[in-house]
Amino acid sequence: MKLFTAIGAALLLALPNAAGAQLAGEPFIHDPSTIAYSDGKYYTFGTGSGGLVSEDGWTWHRGGERPGGGVAPDIIHIGERYYVVYAVGGGGMNGGHASNVKVMWTKSLDPKSPEFGYHDVGIVASSNGKEDQDAIDPAFLLAKGHLWLSYGTYFGYIRIVELNPKTGQRVAGNKPVDVAIDMEATDLMYRDGWYYLLGTHGTCCDGPNSSYNIRVGRSRSPLGPYVDNMGVPLLKGGGKLVIAGRGRDYGPGHFGLLDLGDGVEKFSMHYESDMDRGGRSVLAISPLLWKDGWPVAGENLAPGTYEIQSERSGGALELATDFVRIAFDFRRSFSSPAGAELKPIPNQTLAQDSTMWPSGPIAVDLGDYMIRPHQQWTITPVPEAGGAFGAPYYRIGIAGTDRVLAATAENTVVAQPAFTGAAEQLWRIDQLTDGTYRIMPRQPLHSTKPVVLVAIGASSPVLEPFNPAGDSGRWTFKKP
């Protein structure tokens, strides 16, 4: 892991972020913990000392302090305390399989805070080096008042123990329970009465030859039995795929839930190899979707041209301009002379549609999608403007024009004639747990009342606080 600090950060900062799904800054880490928020910043710790810190979840820099050494920590915030768990020993050949899982706590993760300072809780789990278990890769779950800890690797069993959420110590008399094999880097979630055990299958630590991928099983009890979608027990090697490598990113592992509230869930992980960054291991954040009770990885919106469709009404976001007919004799719909040639008819062009558009700002509304240029938006990442929680800010413009969607001070939306890069022209697009998207103008991350694009009527888009209980703030992007 010394290698992680060896390459010049300046060189890496200069690398292109063409994919638009990769984090900015120097997000170099292996085995990242769950991301925790403390004192206005987001922290994650990895193997080795220290970790990464970010103010927006998009740009990450080296920062934070985690004493104790060891590998693969996790963090959980309970009350006034941030509990940090990590393992010392184990993990493999030279380290053997004898290891201790240790817990400590601090009231702040910010080393500059007067509340910062770690207090050792002690060892909460161990492997003795001979048993089929390797007590590393610990992960917390607080659910229904109980604090659970999973840990282990491919070397034998994944185990769960219970800790005291008030002290971080092992509950007296608690015995470890075997819950899985052939996994490492586990994590736990609780949702709708199900406990989810996530873990990493495949090979780590071999760059683009790493086959790491994240799998999941679920159980009604935190202690199992966990089974996958086919009913295969995780104790027999089962596990439903959550995410595998894709594009330029190889080998995802070390799941960590990042619940942003309002139905927006994301997860952190590392990719074993970011091919755009010399193949180094990097932090990544991806949307988390739920389908039929199973977590699956979502995707940041891919650049392209789309209809932006309201889940509320099915209406298409569009310039409020006069409808322009496509020249057509309606009688052709029903009949043609015998033997007539059936020639293709082109779609309406931008020039045909835009003849009467005013030169200044144009109001935006929702209408039936008619495959017209004034309804087709080109979505372009603007990574140089930053981003939030794993996604860059986007420019949303009418395809083939300079016109862009912008927020107004009156919390309406309008199409301005040109892109300036101003905050009101930058959009954050978060995929929601059902696969639809939330669209919000750039605004302070911790606004007390952030606004998003909402269809307050079948045809009327405005900016209002997001209501996760309904469809008015949900949008889908359809190929035009």
Partner 1 sequence: MSIYLKFSGCLLAAALAAAPLAAIAEPPPTFTPATAGPKAPDPQGFLQRWLLLEPITKPNRSNTGFTGTYVRQALTTPYFPDQFGTVPRNGQTETVAGTPLTWHAVDTNLFDVKLFNFAQSLGKPTYGVIFWAVTVVDSPREMANVRLAVGSNSASMWWVNGKEAAGLFGDRRMVMDDVVSPPLTLHKGRNIVRGAVINGPGLSDFCVRFLDANGQPIRDITLTTR
Q: Could you say whether residue 354 binds partner 1 (CB under 8 A)?
A: no
Q: Closest by alpha carbon to 319, among 408, 398, 426?
A: 398
106 within 8 A of 118, measured Cβ to Cβ: yes
Identify residue 193 by its one-letter amino acid code: G
Q: Could you say whether residue 204 binds partner 1 (CB under 8 A)?
A: yes
DSSP string, 34-84: PPEEETTEEEEE-SSS-EEEESSSSEEEEE---TT--EEEEEEEETTEEEE
Minimum distance of partner 1 from residue 295's CB (angstroms): 20
Nearer residue to partner 1 within complex by CB, 212 or 419:
212
**Which of these segments, 11-19, 152-160, 294-302, 370-378, binds partner 1 (CB under 8 A)?**
152-160
Minimum distance of partner 1 from residue 134's CB (angstroms): 6
**Which of these segments, 66-74, 308-316, 319-327, 432-440, binds partner 1 (CB under 8 A)?**
66-74
**Which of these segments, 202-210, 240-248, 326-334, 379-387, binds partner 1 (CB under 8 A)?**
202-210
For partner 1, which residue of 55, 56, 131, 464 counts as binding (CB under 8 A)?
A: 131
Nearer residue to partner 1 within complex by CB, 141 or 181:
181
- Classify strands 59-63 and 24-25 as parallel, antiparallel or unpaired: parallel
Q: Could you say whether residue 309 binds partner 1 (CB under 8 A)?
A: no
**Which of these segments, 9-17, 35-43, 97-105, 219-227, binds partner 1 (CB under 8 A)?**
97-105
Q: Could you say whether residue 47 binds partner 1 (CB under 8 A)?
A: yes
Nearer residue to partner 1 within complex by CB, 137 or 265:
137
Cis preceding linkage at 468, omega within 30: no
Q: Closest by alpha carbon to 301, among 406, 383, 392, 173?
A: 392
101 within 8 A of 176, measured Cβ to Cβ: no
Tell me the C-alpha to C-alpha distance, in Å, between residue 166 and each of 35, 143, 398: 21, 14, 54
Q: Could you say whether residue 425 binds partner 1 (CB under 8 A)?
A: no
Q: Could you say whether residue 179 binds partner 1 (CB under 8 A)?
A: no
Q: Could you say whether residue 208 binds partner 1 (CB under 8 A)?
A: no
Identify residue 24 by its one-letter amino acid code: A
For partner 1, which residue of 19, 85, 125, 136 counts as binding (CB under 8 A)?
A: 136
Q: Which two tokens stand for residue 383?
A: 């990574």
Q: Which two tokens stand for residue 257?
A: 């839930």
Minimum distance of partner 1 from residue 97's CB (angstroms): 8
Stretch 431-470 residues interacting with partner 1 (CB under 8 A): none
Nearer residue to partner 1 within complex by CB, 101 or 297:
101
* Interior angle at CA 325, CA 320 and CA 328, nearest 5: 165
Q: Whole-angstrom Cα distance, residue 474 to residue 74?
A: 33
Q: Which helix (H) or strand (E) holds 218?
A: strand 213-219
Minimum distance of partner 1 from residue 233's CB (angstroms): 8
87 within 8 A of 71, measured Cβ to Cβ: yes
Q: Could you say whether residue 121 binds partner 1 (CB under 8 A)?
A: no
For partner 1, which residue of 232, 350, 363, 370 counts as binding (CB under 8 A)?
A: 232
Q: Whole-angstrom Cα distance, residue 208 to residue 281?
A: 10
Q: Could you say whether residue 153 binds partner 1 (CB under 8 A)?
A: yes
For partner 1, which residue of 88, 109, 242, 283 counts as binding (CB under 8 A)?
A: 88
Q: Could you say whether residue 182 binds partner 1 (CB under 8 A)?
A: yes
Q: Closest by alpha carbon to 284, among 49, 54, 104, 50?
A: 54
Number of residues that bind partner 1 (CB under 8 A): 56
Query: What mask of x and - would describe binding to partner 1 in positions 243 to 272, judged by CB under 8 A?
Result: ----------xx------------------
Computed on alpha carbons and rounded to an integer, the radius of gyration of the chain in Å comes to: 25
Q: Whole-angstrom Cα distance, residue 450 to residue 441?
A: 9
What is the phi/psi pair of residue 207, to 5°? 50, -135
First to last CA, the chain: 47
Q: Could you say whether residue 202 binds partner 1 (CB under 8 A)?
A: yes
Nearer residue to partner 1 within complex by CB, 165 or 253:
253
DSSP state at residue 384: G
**Which of these segments, 1-9, 161-169, 359-367, 425-433, binds partner 1 (CB under 8 A)?**
1-9
Report the interface residues with partner 1, using CB under 8 A: 1-3, 30-31, 47-48, 69-72, 88-100, 123, 126, 128-132, 134, 136-137, 153-156, 181-182, 184-185, 201-206, 209, 211, 232, 236-238, 253-254
